[in-house]
Amino acid sequence: MYVNQLSLQHYRNYDTLSLNSFGAVNLIIGRNAQGKTNLLEALFVLALTKSHRTGKDKELLSFGSDHAVVEAEVEKKYGAVRLELRLTSQGKKAKLNGLEQRKLSDFIGALNVVMFAPEDLEIVKGTPGVRRRFLDMEIGQVQPGYLYHLQQYQKILVQRNNLLKQAWGAGPELSTMLEIWNEQLAEHGVKIIKKRKQFIRKLQKWAEQIHEGITGGGEKLKLSYLPSFGEAEEEDEAVLLQQFMIKLSQVKDQEIRRGMTLCGPHRDDVSFYINGNEAQVYGSQGQQRTTALSLKLAEIELIHEEIGEYPILLLDDVLSELDPYRQTQLIETFQSKVQTFITATGIESINASRLRDASIFHVQDGQVQGGAKE
């Protein structure tokens, strides 16, 4: 897919902006704090209806504004699609080709993006919550049904936790209530677990190959799903359901004591191994960064495999962090098949000579100039 045109209204430090001279590679150049990331973020928000760097939509509205609009025309295999997302402090509304979508999950996936930003290092280094968010965002993008189960699961989890908090010393009616919640929790929970395991299995195939390429064959990357019950390889829904119910009955007393749900996909994690050693514990900063990069590049191939089209790639401030060999590997990987948006503080910090058909945009204080091919 290919973004032909992008307009912003009252989005962060952009009052109004309309750009339409995008190329296959787009370099967004500017000093710090001028609005480069904001531009990539707007594309990310249009794809996923959420920012990659804040959970608070209000922060996306320009200071003093009560709404923001992001619009784009995206060329896809079967024709052009117009996307519009309107954000207000009360909520958001999405339109596809002028038609308002009843559910945001019907809108997510019209534009697919893969973003690689400095904070992605946290996927390897950070807490399990960061890795679960990574899985949820990426799976949700290609399988909107996943988001439905995730939302239902989260709602049930809150209610079940509330019940557990009041449960200490309660009578037999508690067990009946808990059993009802258990069934609902497990019903949606196993769908999430199954999709995550499938995603990890498919991502592994691409990530291993890409990581080997980036490291000149020196490193073997392995991904492993760490479930809070059962075997990592088990993907059969009926088996997972049974295991989940058994685990819930095993931890019941402990859950009542602690007032929280102790097993399920909200407690799962993923581990990354380089040549058999856990990257989070033993990996150098460079190895962890390369692992995150391999995962992101693998995602590009996975999305292509799932939907038959390449997503757009957003590289925020990361090219200059890579050594020239890794930069070249990265550029060669996306060049000619993936439309790419790259931010940098200066053109000299990136290996621009490797880039073909690049459009250059200069950003200063929420104003954008350029778009000429160089």
Give the range of 33-41, 43-51, 169-177, 280-288 binding ligand ATP by CB under 6 A: 33-41
Binding status of residue 88 toward ligand ATP by CB under 6 A: no
Alpha-carbon dihedral of residues 158, 162, 168, 174, nearest 10 degrees? -90
58 is in an annotated binding site: no
Q: Are 43 and 6 in contact (CB under 8 A)?
A: yes
Retrieve residue 259's tokens: 């007032």
Chosen residue from 3, 22, 30, 49 binding ligand ATP by CB under 6 A: 30
Give the range of 28-36, 158-166, 265-273, 299-307 binding ligand ATP by CB under 6 A: 28-36
Which residues ranging from 317 to 346 are in contact with ligand ATP (CB under 6 A)?
A: 317, 343, 345
35 is in an annotated binding site: yes
53 is in an annotated binding site: no
Binding status of residue 26 toward ligand ATP by CB under 6 A: no
220 is in an annotated binding site: no
Binding status of residue 99 toward ligand ATP by CB under 6 A: no
Query: Residue 57 or 219: which CB sits closer to ligand ATP?
Result: 57
Binding status of residue 32 toward ligand ATP by CB under 6 A: yes
Chosen residue from 9, 62, 101, 198 binding ligand ATP by CB under 6 A: 62
Query: Residue 45 or 274: which CB sits closer to ligand ATP?
Result: 45
Chosen residue from 23, 35, 140, 265 binding ligand ATP by CB under 6 A: 35
CA distance 251 to 79: 52
Q: Are 44 and 311 in contact (CB under 8 A)?
A: no
Q: Are 181 and 245 in contact (CB under 8 A)?
A: no
Beta-carbon-side half-sphere exposure of residue 104 (alpha carbons within 13 Å)? 17
Q: Are 357 and 22 in contact (CB under 8 A)?
A: no
CA distance 139 to 82: 23
- DSSP codes of every residue in 250-264: HHHHHHHHHTS--SS
Give the N- to C-terminal CA distance of the chain in Å, as an integer: 22
Query: Residue 12 or 149: which CB sits closer to ligand ATP?
Result: 12
Q: Are 27 and 50 in contact (CB under 8 A)?
A: no
Query: Residue 61 or 251: which CB sits closer to ligand ATP?
Result: 61
Residue numbering of the annotated binding site for ATP = 30-37
Query: For binding to ligand ATP (CB under 6 A), which residues are involved?
Result: 12-13, 30, 32-38, 59, 61-63, 317, 343, 345
